[in-house]
Amino acid sequence: MSKQSVKPVLLSDAQLQAIRNIQEQQRKQSGLGVAPSIHEIARGLVDNALAMHAKMKVSA
């Protein structure tokens, strides 16, 4: 298995604040007051964006 060279992805202040807003919305919706981590939300957003990109690429 080859070793991958992956570097961290840096987010702008505005992007991080938007993710924190999503986190707070999730916390308010939770009956226990818990919310997913910043990393979990960011991974979900990237997954959604990649899925949309793949759909656009297939339909083009």
If phi > 0 it is left, if psi is from -120 to 50 it is alpha, else beta; for residue 33 that is left
- pTM, full prediction: 0.81
With vertex at residue 24, the alpha carbon angle to CA 12 and CA 6, rounded to the nearest 5 degrees, is 40
Dist. CA 58–CA 60, nearest whole Å? 6
Give whole-number Cα distances, 34 to 18, 29, 38, in Å: 18, 9, 12
Residue type at 10 in one-letter notation: L
Over the stretch 2-48, which tens digit does the pLDDT of each residue have?
788 888 889 999 999 999 999 999 999 999 999 999 999 999 999 99
The pLDDT score that the predictor gives to residue 38 is 96
Integer-rounded Cα radius of gyration of the chain: 15
